[in-house]
Structure 1
């Protein structure tokens, strides 16, 4: 049995993707900063008959993130699917003219150092398995820079470039890297961007392994 590891576990998309991949037979590793938050999520999944374990780590602390992923792979089984979808902090979203060089340190650590650390932690296990999936979930500013949220626009663009390079470099090794762009808010009543719809879309991307960039819904002009 292989493991689905979710970085940025939360009560919406996180629980939905955990349920979807668990239904497909994967063990579930939830990674977030707050151990109490993780306990709540794993308890909720347990009520649905899903066995999941939480591993506390902060994506801005690369040592804790690397340790959490290694612990998950050791205790639950090799990580076959990694989803990187933590929610950016509000202070990443300053207007471009109010953004100084120091304001970009945390967003770039969040969207570049975090993903690079996570991928390097799981790649050896995926190579040993002979397969793997790397899923990156981003907002619209990853592909349409928004001057109102300069930090995420810059950092998401860098994350997109990294993920695209992984897609090209790892395809011959049967490891699929893909990005899902969610243009708007994730809402329970949204046809294409509800947690359940996005979880199914991410599972389909994992299974179909078709192309790099996907959108949860068509973009408005």
Structure 2
């Protein structure tokens, strides 16, 4: 078995996905900024029998993100599954009429440059394997823009376009690209948006390899 890299790994969705794929035999590379939290999560997973390691990186820093993914592949093995799911900063969510071009730098670095860097770093390994899965996780503004969340609305739309282009371009190589849109918040105990339920959904997207865009819940739900 090979490795899943979870970019934006934390105690909610990232932790649940690590457990879900870990149960299937995948080693887990946890990528986020906070080294102490990553080490604590890796220790929790190890206690449950999941091989996991933390790799510190800022998705807005291409060099650090690329280096973290290289380090993960060297330590754990070729990255077969990439999940890009960091949580956007609150300051990305400004009303559209108060959003300047400078306000869009962060969102674009976060939701466009970061995914491009990550994909380019793992793609050679996936091609060597002859298989791979790339999972983009976005909020509802990826599909329905919100006037008070201009930064994420614009940047998520661009990330969605990039993912869709990859889906079409890589299918013939055995590399599946999918997007999971999660409207609203991730809610523990929710029938469709509990972290463990979402992790099952992402596992199914990896396993069934069908279509690009999928919804965790109704857009108005």
Q: TM-score range by the shorter chain?
A: over 0.9
* Aligned-pair Cα RMSD in Å: 0.9
The 5-angstrom pairing of residues 20-59 of structure 1 reads 20-59=20-59
Structure 2 equivalent of residue 125 of structure 1 = 125
Give TM-score, length-normalised by structure 2.
0.98
Structure 1 equivalent of residue 9 of structure 2 = 9
User: Deviating runs (4+, > 6 A) in structure 1?
Assistant: none
Q: Tell whether 2:124 aligns with 1:102.
A: no
CA–CA separation in structure 1 for the residues paired with 2:77 and 2:16: 21
The 5-angstrom pairing of residues 128-207 of structure 1 reads 128-207=128-207
Give the C-alpha shift of residue 189 in structure 1.
1.3
For residues 133-167 of structure 1, what are the alpha-carbon distances to aligned partners after superposition, in whole Å with 9 as ceiling and x for unaligned?
00000000000000010000000000000000000
For residues 77-101 of structure 1, what are the alpha-carbon distances to aligned partners after superposition, in whole Å with 9 as ceiling and x for unaligned?
1000000000000100011111001
CA–CA separation in structure 1 for the residues paired with 2:173 and 2:148: 39
CA–CA separation in structure 1 for the residues paired with 2:189 and 2:124: 39
Asked if the contact 2:180/2:214 (under 8 Å) is kept, the reply is yes
For residues 70-120 of structure 1, what are the alpha-carbon distances to aligned partners after superposition, in whole Å with 9 as ceiling and x for unaligned?
111111010000000000001000111110010000100000000000000
Structure 1 equivalent of residue 62 of structure 2 = 62
Give the C-alpha shift of residue 220 in structure 1.
3.0
For residues 162-184 of structure 1, what are the alpha-carbon distances to aligned partners after superposition, in whole Å with 9 as ceiling and x for unaligned?
00000000000000000000012
Structure 2 equivalent of residue 112 of structure 1 = 112
Give the C-alpha shift of residue 44 in structure 1.
1.5
CA–CA separation in structure 1 for the residues paired with 2:75 and 2:116: 22
Q: Secondary structure at the match of 1:110?
A: helix
For residues 119-141 of structure 1, what are the alpha-carbon distances to aligned partners after superposition, in whole Å with 9 as ceiling and x for unaligned?
00000000000000000000000
CA–CA separation in structure 2 for the residues paired with 1:11 and 1:200: 16
Asked if the contact 2:176/2:209 (under 8 Å) is kept, the reply is yes
CA–CA separation in structure 2 for the residues paired with 1:173 and 1:218: 32
Give the C-alpha shift of residue 38 in structure 1.
0.6
Give the C-alpha shift of residue 49 in structure 1.
1.9
Give the C-alpha shift of residue 218 in structure 1.
2.5
Give the C-alpha shift of residue 47 in structure 1.
2.3
For residues 174-218 of structure 1, what are the alpha-carbon distances to aligned partners after superposition, in whole Å with 9 as ceiling and x for unaligned?
000000000121011110000000000000000000000000023
CA–CA separation in structure 2 for the residues paired with 1:94 and 1:15: 29
How many corresponding residue pairs? 221
